[in-house]
Structure 1
């Protein structure tokens, strides 16, 4: 019973993280580690700042009212 409950909770947690894009940083760190091993990965704060800056520069990303 506990095993099934743990799996269910784990699945819900995974789904919510993917839905809210909370796992984007983890995917980015894995990418940097695999493709650019000599480059240090940015902190989560730096990553979120880079991502926000990139979204604000691109008008298709939705930072406008209409």
Structure 2
């Protein structure tokens, strides 16, 4: 997952997403290929089953 997301050098964080974060469709640039995002979210949902500590972040995405 990290390699596909180009995050191999990323450092872990105690809480990687701020609470009560509201994402809107106008945040950031549009993706050229939304299927990559869908694939990543699908993988994160799978991890959510085995890693309940990331449930909040996955649900928000």
What TM-score, normalized by structure 1, do the two folds share? 0.29
The structure having more radius of gyration, on CA atoms, is 1
Q: Quick one: higher RCO (CA 8 Å, sep 6+), 1 or 2?
A: 2
